[in-house]
Structure formats: C-alpha cells, structure tokens
Amino acid sequence: MAKMKKAEVKPFKELLLNLRARLRGDVSTLANSALSSGGSGGSGSSSVPSHMADMGSDTFEQDNTILLMNSEGETLTAVEGALERIEEGVYGSCLECSGKIPKTRLKAIPYTPHCVKCASELEDGNY
C-alpha cells in the first residue's frame, strides 16, 4: 500500500482541520473575511481585532459564507474520515483499490477517500 510521509501529509491535515472547524462552525475565519471584504469602503479604518469579530459573528453570516452548505454534514463526515486515515497512516490511499490518490486530487478535495477512477466508478460526484 502506498503511504505518504508525515511531512507530506501535514499540509493536508492542516487543511482538513481548518475545513472541519469551518464545517462545525467553530471558527469564524470565513465570517471574518466576509466582513472585511464586504465593507462599505470606509477609509482609514484599522482592521478589527479577531476576538471582536468572533463576538460579533452571527449564524446568518456563516450561512452566507459557507458554500458547502448543501452537503455540509456529508462533507464533515468525509473530513472526519480523512483525519482518521491520517492518524492510521493510510491517508492518500484509495479505500477501494488501495491505489495512491494523486496529490493534485488531494489538494482539490483533501477529504476524498477514493482515487479518480474509483470515484467515477462509484458515481460519487462530490468525493
């Protein structure tokens, strides 16, 4: 079975932890960026300290910013599974054929459990 080195897995683990936090609504990084980019163009205002933005974030802000809303639960499950595979040292291997999942695919969909071939055979469009 093809295994990835820890150093190779690390950036994906960070991606997945970030994604999981966002899906759970633990952090407001998306809300923060939405707040700063959606401003009314006022001049000279210094950036808002993150802890203040945290306190001011509302749930409807997150509704607007999380684009994965439709399959949020599904995606969260997939992210959890990917993190488990990282802990088990099997991340990056296809669950179906045990083949190596290309890094380009992992970069696009870090929580995918399948290689491109198996994903298309399973007709699992999302991952």
CB of 96 to Zn ion, least distance (A): 4
CB 43, CB 50: distance < 8 Å: no
Angle at CA 93, nearest 5°, toward 91 and 99? Answer: 170
What is the DSSP code (8-state) at residue 47? Answer: P
What is the Cα–Cα distance from 53 to 48, expressed in whole angstroms?
7
83 binds Zn ion (CB under 5 A): no
The binder of Zn ion chosen from 9, 83, 94, 106 (CB under 5 A): 94
CB of 1 to Zn ion, least distance (A): 12
What is the Cα–Cα distance from 95 to 28, expressed in whole angstroms?
32
101 binds Zn ion (CB under 5 A): no
> Measured from the CB atom, is 25 or 99 closer to Zn ion?
99
Take residue 65 and report the two structure tokens written for it. 């910013």
118 binds Zn ion (CB under 5 A): yes
The binder of Zn ion chosen from 86, 112, 115, 127 (CB under 5 A): 115
54 binds Zn ion (CB under 5 A): no
119 binds Zn ion (CB under 5 A): no
What is the Cα–Cα distance from 92 to 112, expressed in whole angstroms?
9
- Binding residues (CB under 5 A) for Zn ion: these are 94, 96-97, 99, 115, 118
